[in-house]
């Protein structure tokens, strides 16, 4: 029971503080509930040996030696260089995709209306579908060409995704600076 005006005032202040806290907490939680999921820091496509390609001369020569029989030292070295060139294209395309992906996701995060996580998921599907498609229309090669073809297929599809991201980044930056939308 309230005995005086001071006690009434103290109770009112406590109620107001509790009410303010409840409003702030509710607003915070509803904001979290409506927040969009963050995209992964690194785009994982989901293909065999993703991000684990060894393009070192020693690794290429070792692989060529294991896949071939009776080749001359000159032919082995030439095959190793060809294998390494394809692996290097793959590694470079993967690095470019990851770099361009991070740049785009940083830009997309600036606009709460966008869904960067959904965009990342769909990009993953597109690049993986490209790889699967290209593997479906190749004989796979023989001897060293097995590795060359696999790495070139991956490199081409990663480059396709990377170029798409670069284009979207350019368009998004233009929209941020000049207004408008990203078609």
The predicted-structure confidence for 44-85, as pLDDT tens digits, reads as follows 999 999 999 999 999 999 999 999 989 999 999 999 999 999
Task: Please tell me the total count of domains within the chain.
Answer: 2
Structure-token pair, residue 67: 């896949």
Residue ranges making up the domain that contains 9: 1-35
Same domain, 118 and 161: yes
Pair (81, 133) in one structural domain: yes
Q: Is residue 183 domain-resident?
A: no
Burial classification of residue 8, based on how many CB atoms lie within 10 Å of its CB (0-12 exposed, 13-18 middle, 19 or more buried): exposed
Tokens of 142: 């023989």
Report the pLDDT value the prediction gives residue 177, as an integer from 0 to 100: 87
Q: What are phi and psi of 172, to 5 degrees?
A: -70, -40
Of 157, 149, 168, 147, the closest CA to residue 45 belongs to 157
Residue ranges of the chain with per-residue pLDDT less than 70: 1-35, 181-183
Closest C-alpha to 90, from 40, 147, 151: 151
Residues 28, 53 share a domain: no
**Judgement on whether residues 62 and 114 belong to the same structural domain of the protein:** yes
- The per-residue pLDDT for 178 is 87
109 & 162 share domain: yes
pLDDT computed for residue 6 by the predictor: 53
Query: Is 97:89 a contact under the CB 8 Å cutoff?
Result: no
Residues 29 and 48 in one domain: no
Indicate if 110 and 47 belong to the same structural domain: yes
Nearest alpha carbon to residue 128 among 48, 45, 53, 52: 45
């Amino acid at each position: 029971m309230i005995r005086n005006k001071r006690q009434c005032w103290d109770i009112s202040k406590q109620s107001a503080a509790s009410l303010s806290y409840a409003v702030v907490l509710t607003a915070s939680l509803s904001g979290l509930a409506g927040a969009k999921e963050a995209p992964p820091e690194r785009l994982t496509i989901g293909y065999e040996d993703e991000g684990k390609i060894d393009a070192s001369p020693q690794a290429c020569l070792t692989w060529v030696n294991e896949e071939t029989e009776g080749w001359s030292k000159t032919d082995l070295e030439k095959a190793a260089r060809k294998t390494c060139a394809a692996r290097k294209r793959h590694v470079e395309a993967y690095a470019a995709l990851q770099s361009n992906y991070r740049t785009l996701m940083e830009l997309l995060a600036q606009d709460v209306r966008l869904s960067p996580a959904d965009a990342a998921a769909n990009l993953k599907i597109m690049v993986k579908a490209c790889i699967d498609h290209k593997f479906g229309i190749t004989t796979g090669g023989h001897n060293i060409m097995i590795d060359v073809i696999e790495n070139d297929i991956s490199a081409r599809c990663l480059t396709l995704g990377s170029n798409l991201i670069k284009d979207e980044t350019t368009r998004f930056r233009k929209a941020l600076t000049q207004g408008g939308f990203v078609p």
